[in-house]
Amino acid sequence: MSALLESLIELIRRTSAELPDDVNAALVRSLEQEKKGTIAESALKIIERNIELAKRKSQPICQDTGSVIFYVDCPVGFDQIECEAATREAVKEATKRGFLRQNSVDSITGKNDGTNLGPGAPVVHFHQHREPTIEIRLILKGGGCENVGAQYSLPDESIHANRDLDGCRRSILNAVLQAQGKGCGPGILGVCIGGDRATGYEFSKQQFLRKLDDRNPDPKLDALEQDILKTANELGIGPMGFGGKTTLLGVKICAANRVPASYFVSVSYMCWAYRRQGIILNATHGIEGWLY
């Protein structure tokens, strides 16, 4: 087995079984804030126990091990074809070992061949950079939270959203309202303002690569992120939609240029089981360090 393949299997195992530190810390804070004796508090206590168990047993935090999405940053000259082949092999092997559920279904025949491989599965995004380093990030995104993602085309009269930041705010908060209960809250939002229908969702998902405690360098987007987080947590939706204080753990927003005729607000929702991890590879493709 090649070193790259071993590194990728370990990346999948750890992503599936262990939450990153920033997410853990946010969940611990939300448990401290919930009112004692409520079902919201009970839910968060079960979540906390679940995180500990999954890590100790090296088993999936959530049985829906989700869409498998790799993001590879690599230097010029890196063999992307070989790397993509290795991700496929790693996914197959990780499924055999139970780090991933047999989770990929042929959309036409309905057949699940148990390998997690097929058209669009897994997804691998490559990005070349001028650095010598190879960084591979992985997100496992379950179907429950993926299903509550939403794309708004402004103006949207039904929610009184015009083509301005207030219209974006209305769209994003409407998505939070509609997602309640279904997306396994407390959740995290990734949002893209602008782009087209495909890039809008794509960039919204890439926001999940940011750490929860970072701040947006754009002051307008930073203010919108803070405002959405605060407002959403005043709505009383709470963990699992049971009612309570923590509805969202974080909000990350980016903007992309649009054509004059389009104005999309694309909202991706991530569940509390926010499985995101990354590795830096050494010269022989072993794991040199972890990114989260």
Figure out which of the listed residues 36, 57, 127, 130 binds other proteins, where binding follows CB under 8 A.
57
Minimum Å gap between C-beta 200 and other proteins is: 23
Q: Is 107 in the site for other proteins (CB under 8 A)?
A: no
Q: Is the previous residue joined to 122 through a cis bond, with omega within 30 degrees of 0?
A: yes
Minimum Å gap between C-beta 97 and other proteins is: 9
Count of alpha carbons within 13 Å of 102, Cβ hemisphere only? Answer: 7
Q: Is 153 in the site for other proteins (CB under 8 A)?
A: no
Closest CA to 190 of 209, 171, 177: 209
Minimum Å gap between C-beta 63 and other proteins is: 4
Q: Is 223 in the site for other proteins (CB under 8 A)?
A: no
User: Please, which residue, 240 or 279, has the CB nearer to other proteins?
Assistant: 240
| Measured CA angle at 112 (ends 106, 116), to 5 deg | 85
In terms of residues, how long is the chain? 292
Q: Is 226 in the site for other proteins (CB under 8 A)?
A: no
Tokens representing 219 are 């002051």
Q: Is 63 in the site for other proteins (CB under 8 A)?
A: yes
User: Please, which residue, 194 or 238, has the CB nearer to other proteins?
Assistant: 238
Figure out which of the listed residues 240, 249, 253, 265 binds other proteins, where binding follows CB under 8 A.
240
From CA 102, how far away is CA 123, in angstroms rounded? 16
- Cβ 91 vs Cβ 163: under 8 Å: no
Figure out which of the listed residues 196, 243, 287, 288 binds other proteins, where binding follows CB under 8 A.
243
From CA 273, how far away is CA 64, in angstroms rounded? 10
Contact positions with other proteins (CB under 8 A) in 6-35 = none
Q: Is 43 in the site for other proteins (CB under 8 A)?
A: yes
The span of 44-52, 72-80, 123-131, 258-266 binding other proteins (CB under 8 A) equals: 44-52
Instruction: Classify residue 1 by burial, with Cβ atoms within 10 Å: 0-12, 13-18, 19+.
Output: exposed
- Cβ 192 vs Cβ 266: under 8 Å: yes
Contact positions with other proteins (CB under 8 A) in 157-176 = 159-160, 166, 169-170, 173-174
Helix (H, G, I), strand (E, B) or coil at 254: strand
From CA 123, how far away is CA 119, in angstroms rounded? 9
From CA 102, how far away is CA 33, in angstroms rounded? 37
Closest CA to 69 of 196, 176, 251, 206: 206
Minimum Å gap between C-beta 49 and other proteins is: 5
Q: Is 155 in the site for other proteins (CB under 8 A)?
A: no
- The residue ranges that bind other proteins (CB under 8 A) are 39, 42-43, 46-47, 49-50, 53-54, 57, 59-65, 98, 101-103, 105, 110-112, 114, 142-144, 147, 159-160, 166, 169-170, 173-174, 177, 180-184, 231, 234-238, 240-243, 271-273
